Amino acid sequence: MTTTVSGARRLVLAPLRGLSGAQRVWLLTAAMSAATAALVAGPLSALPAPATGLGVPWPLLAVLFALCEVVVVNVQFRRDAHTISLGELPLVVGLYFVSPVGLVAAQLTGAAVALALHRRQTPMKLAFNVAHFGLEAALAALLFSLVPAHALFGAAGWAAVFAATTFAAVLAVSAMFAAVSLSEGRPAFAGWGREISTGLMFTGATTSMALLAVWMLAQRPQALWLLAVPGATLWTAYRAWVRERERGERLRFLSEVTQAISAAPDLEGAVAALLSHARGMFRAEVAELTLYPAEGSGLPLRTTAGPEGHGQVLRPVPHAGPRPARGAAALFRAGEPVPEGLAGRGYRDAMTATLATERGVFGELVVADRTCEATPFDQEDLQLLGTLAAQASVCLENGRLEKTLVQLSALKEHLRHQAFHDSLTGLVNRALFHDRVEHALSSRRREDGAVIVLLLDLDDFKAVNDSLGHDAGDQLLVEVAGRLEGCVRPGDTAARLGGDEFAVLVDDVEGIGAGIVVAERIHAALRAPVVLHGMEVAVHASIGIARADGIDDAATVLRNADVAMYEAKQQGKNRYGIYEHGMHHSARERLELRTQLRAAVDEDQLLLRFQPVVDLVSGAVVGAEALVRWAHPTRGLLAPDAFIAYAEESGLIVPLGAWVLDGALAQLSRWRADLGTSRPFTLAVNLSPRQLTQPGLAEEVRRLLGLHGVPPSDLMLEITESALIKDTPATLRVLRDLKALGVRIAVDDFGTGYSALSYLRQFPIDVLKISKPFVDDVRRGAEERALTEAIVRIAQALRLDTIAEGVEHADQREALRDMGCGYGQGFHFARPLPAGDLGALLRGPAAVTRSA
Ligand code: C2E
Ligand code: CA
Ligand code: CA
């Protein structure tokens, strides 16, 4: 048996880097040719033909060589693409009856003619095959020349022949594997042993036959025909065996592919398995599968497998061209015209086959760019590709395509979900929520009922983010989302609008009551603290509720809920607010108030109330606090909370404060006229932080005191704790100037800020007004009361008077008195009163007796 190479792959061997695979194979061919030439020119040149008595002309032997290369069995499978021939026959005949140089010449000529003319091999392949044939013949002749003339037909001669053909077979297989390795650029010797062993089996049998033929030729040429029968039998056996093996290989390959496709968990994996097997099998750079969806249901999806992960998976192809016809197959080699379906794809060479079921073609398999240009795709490859495609059709069809369509629609669903849901919490996002509200409203236009939108904003969420980190913040949002979902009916929608803002849509309800129920349910659900980084964090939320029927649009309802939520936050957080008509205007009204306030100061819309300050022991009214009110032309009497902040912002607080001071001192001078100078009475006036920074404040106070003829000691100025510590040196200067006038100074709302008591020492302060929460505390428990008591004690140590604010109950008054707190102010004694009422109180004994 002799072997000719038909396959080789491309790669890189280190010393040959920079050369192409083909160039490296040419190099091997040249080396073998050079070795053959050296042998022929050297040791072989002088050797005569063996003395066998029979001379065969070398051209006749060449014809025999050629015939053997024509009558061959092609074994072309995967990488092991080669041909089995009866080449040993002429070789052995040549060893006995032709000179070594003649043998080499016959081998070269015969093989070259057969391979070129009959098998039409490419120049590279032809040269390679002829080169290794020549080398084999030369080496065999050299080996055989060692046998002495008398031993040619004895054991020594036969052994030499077996050695020579064996060596030639091994050399042929090795040369082929070497060529493949060089072509691919990496050692590719897998299967070498198996190839040698099968090769040698045939070589042994052919060599035996050849020796018999040689023996008969030498002894009785007329008996040679007897060999025809075993020869033909042997030849048939070869063919049968090779075909069988080939079939076995194909089946094994197809079952491998089938298994790989079936084992793949999904379509993606199945296609990948198919393509990778196809690439390996056909020695192709690229394999690709285009799947055509059912008519009209979307774009074809193409998966491409290329070298080193170059590829793409199930990518939609907008311009895939028409679906191929059933059984369509194409093959084109480098330089040949490209079939229509493959035009413009940039392939050098390619084959295609279709995947189909009885329902029609659903895919097209393409393998392209043969790794070895020397062995282009041929009809056998195309046939095998067809078999592969048919096999793959069955595997892919078996429920898998349906599964794929489900997968694809699941993917679409997933993408849709992503577009309309919040990725962190999985809740509906703003876009979808808006849609749902719109949809609910349009239903309400057709049927009765209303929709309720709740807008929820976490209170102090920023603090969690800032102190515990964004992870903790995210965790909190996820937890809140989960609890929120638990609060809505199946038909309703919970959404995250962004940040810490959530929303709930309650559809088809009677009235606002349904919204209140949900709001209360949400507050109840949020009551349990959330554990973040092992810490319990309380969750509070302000909720705005808005009702809408078919008339409104989604944007309006959401805005209304937002207004209500803002109001709830204003009211003190962790509560819900219900949108009312008019609330909507509150923002505009707030703006109006600002402009109107200016006029109010000028046009005397302001007035004063006076809340008495009482001696906790005697119950006597020892003073009062002036509190401003705004008699608004349309909105009635407004409390300072409604406008003081604007006055602060706009700077109007300066003229307003001056107006209060002027009015309060005017009133005080009237009361003084009634009371005489002996009875202690101190009138307190609030100073805003902004007023404190006003240059000339002390001068203004002095002027007004003079104007109204009031002794400075009758006036007490209240300054909030936070204003005190804002700008210490400047504040200190102002306070000293005021103090120098002889007025008293009180720290208002003490305890709500954060000043340490000792810090107060540096300020010229006379009175500490204990803020309402500490006053409330005295009723609650020993612990809370201890804190209030501590404030009183330290105030005493600093020689400050103490006034308890917001005293509402008799027991508070008693407790405070027992602690040593000197004075009190609060609804328990009196509300802020018009000047006349306080005057009456001062004149009569009632106030004094009442508190006694
Ligand atoms: P403030 O200086 O702490 O005044 C005491 C506030 O407590 C008054 O509210 C008074 O009505 C209220 N109050 C008194 N006793 C009780 C009680 O027993 N229970 C309860 N719940 N509340 C009680 P009002 O008059 O609404 O004043 C609010 C705030 O407005 C004042 O707090 C003060 O900071 C500011 N303010 C009032 N008038 C003026 C002013 O002429 N100038 C400046 N800058 N601020 C003022
Ligand atoms: Ca005050
Ligand atoms: Ca106060």
Q: pLDDT band at 6, cuts 50/70/90? A: very low
| pLDDT, average across residues 89-111 | 91
pLDDT above 70 covers what percent of the chain? Answer: 89
Residue 719 — very low, low, confident or very high, per pLDDT cuts 50/70/90? very high
Is the C-beta atom of 826 inside 6 A of ligand 1? Answer: yes
Cβ of 806 closer than 6 Å to ligand 1, yes or no, is: yes
pTM summary value? 0.42
The protein residue with its alpha carbon nearest to ligand 1, atom 25, reads: 627
Residue 686 Cβ < 6 Å to ligand 1? yes
- Map residue 124 onto helix, strand or coil: helix
Nearest-ligand number for the alpha carbon of 826: 1
Model confidence at 403: pLDDT above 70: no
> Is the predicted pLDDT of residue 605 greater than 90, yes or no?
yes
For the chain, what percent of residues have pLDDT higher than 90? 34
H helical segments located in 642-696: 644-650, 653-675, 689-692
- 3 state SS for 253-317: HHHHHHHHHHHCCCHHHHHHHHHHHHHHHCCEEEEEEEECCCCCCCCCEEEEECHHHCEEEEEEC
Q: At what angle do helices 470-485 and 461-468 cross, to 10 degrees?
A: 140
Atom of ligand 1 nearest to the CA of 718: 2
* pLDDT value for 741: 96
CA–centroid distance, 468 to ligand 3, in Å, is 35
Ligand nearest to the CA of 640: 1
Q: Which protein residue's CA is at the shortest distance from atom 35 of ligand 1?
A: 640
Neighbours of ion ligand 3 (CB under 5 A): 748-749, 805
Ligand 1: residue of 627, 649, 767 to mutate (most ligand atoms within 8 A of CB) is: 627
Residue 668, pLDDT above cutoff 70: yes
Q: Give the closest residue to 659 by CA, choosing from 681, 691, 635.
A: 691
Which residue, among 542, 557, 522, 543, has the nearest Cα to 451 in the 3D structure?
A: 557
Helical ranges in 709-781 per DSSP H: 721-726, 728-741, 772-777
Take atom 7 of ligand 1 and give the residue whose Cα is closest.
806
Residue 677 has pLDDT above 60, yes or no: yes
Checking if the pLDDT of 346 tops 50, the result is yes
Query: Treating both helix axes as pointing N-terminal to C-terminal, what angle do 88-97 and 100-113 enclose, rounded to 10 degrees?
Result: 150
The angle at the Cα of 811, spanning 807 to 815, to the nearest 5 degrees, equals: 85
Which whole number is the average pLDDT over 634-661? 88
Q: Using the predicted structure, report yes or no on whether residue 4 has a pLDDT greater than 70.
A: no
In the reported structure, the alpha carbon of residue 835 is separated from the centroid of ligand 2 by a whole-number distance in angstroms of 17
